[in-house]
């Protein structure tokens, strides 16, 4: 049987953080299952967050009216994306499973991870107008969000002060992962580990390890298929 590959895209500054402990648990559990595990440690790599002309090698098609999406799509076709983007795209290509590991920042991902999404998931490579959502390019791959919060679970419930966490996660889970065709596994949410005593944090990690053992057997989240929508205008 082919060896499966997992990519962990990790966005935390501190190697001693709870997020790092969560990442390490995933590396150990997945390796124990025979996975090859690759980690992109974005802060350690000093991964550039901003999407600029520097992402394209060589001449721009339209330098006077620069359009990042159009130019990166052409550069992807010609193999002219910057080396850091190409390396991450290679990792995505190899991966059967991608875990995004991060602390929630402002109801979203830290800027460095948003930069990874903006710069790595270029048109052509990650989606096209013909290949999106249930026809998406990464249909054969699984992806999931694993993150920590400062909030409690009750604050992120439908009647909590922050509102329903599923609404918060819709842009990432549907607008990014499902859009690119990934089978999206349920998020792994660590509620307020900073407020938990060490024994509770240890239990949270134990629960994560237990989930990882059966992760690939889990049914992904469901989203409405493309056939439900009128796309004839495209």
Q: Note whether 115 binds ligand FMN by CB under 6 A.
A: no
Helix 18-32 / helix 198-213 crossing angle, nearest 10 deg? 30
> Among 17, 123, 131, 174, which residue sits at the site for ligand FMN (rule: CB under 6 A)?
17
Note whether 47 and 85 are within 8 A (CB).
no
Task: Please enumerate in sequence order all residues whose Cβ is within 8 A of that of 84, keeping only pairs 6 or more positions apart, or say none.
Answer: 45, 47, 48
Choose the stretch contacting ligand FMN; rule: CB under 6 A; options: 45-53, 93-101, 149-157, 170-178. 149-157
Q: Which of 4, 84, 96, 105 binds ligand FMN (CB under 6 A)?
A: 105
Are 66 and 60 within 8 A, CB to CB?
yes
> Locate tokens 């996660």: which residue?
169
- Position 157 contacts ligand FMN (CB under 6 A): no
- Smallest gap from Cβ 87 to ligand FMN, in A, equals 26
Burial class (CB in 10 A: 0-12, 13-18, 19+), 48: middle
CB-nearer residue toward ligand FMN: 66 or 170 = 170
Residues in 186-205 at the binding interface with ligand FMN, rule: CB under 6 A: 193-194
**Where does this chain touch ligand FMN (CB under 6 A) — which range of 101-109, 117-125, 133-141, 209-217?**
101-109
By rule CB under 6 A, what string of x and - marks binding of each residue 204-233 to ligand FMN?
Answer: ------------------------------
Of the candidate residues 55, 103, 121, 126, the single one contacting ligand FMN (CB under 6 A): 103
Residues forming the site for ligand FMN (CB under 6 A): 12, 17-19, 103-107, 148-151, 193-194
């Amino acid at each position: 049987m082919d060896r499966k590959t997992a990519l962990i895209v990790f966005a935390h500054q501190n190697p001693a953080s709870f997020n790092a402990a969560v990442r390490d648990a995933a590396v150990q559990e997945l390796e124990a299952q025979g996975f090859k595990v690759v980690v992109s440690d974005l802060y350690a790599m000093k991964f550039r967050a901003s999407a600029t002309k520097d992402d394209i090698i060589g001449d721009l098609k339209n330098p006077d009216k620069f359009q990042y999406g159009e130019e990166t799509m052409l550069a992807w076709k010609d193999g002219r994306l910057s080396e850091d983007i190409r390396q991450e795209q290679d990792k995505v290509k190899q991966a059967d499973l991608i875990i995004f590991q991060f602390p929630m920042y402002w109801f979203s991902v830290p800027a460095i991870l948003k930069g990874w999404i903006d710069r790595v998931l270029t048109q052509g490579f990650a989606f096209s107008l013909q290949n999106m959502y249930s026809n998406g390019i990464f249909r054969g791959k699984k992806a999931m969000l694993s993150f920590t919060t400062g909030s409690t679970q009750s604050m992120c419930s439908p009647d909590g002060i922050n509102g329903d966490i599923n609404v918060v996660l819709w842009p990432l889970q549907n607008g990014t992962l499902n859009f690119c065709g990934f089978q999206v596994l349920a998020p792994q949410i660590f509620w307020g580990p900073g407020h938990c005593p060490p024994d509770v944090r240890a239990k949270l990690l134990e629960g994560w390890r237990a989930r990882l053992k059966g992760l690939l057997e889990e049914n992904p989240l469901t989203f409405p298929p493309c056939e439900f929508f009128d796309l004839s205008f495209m």
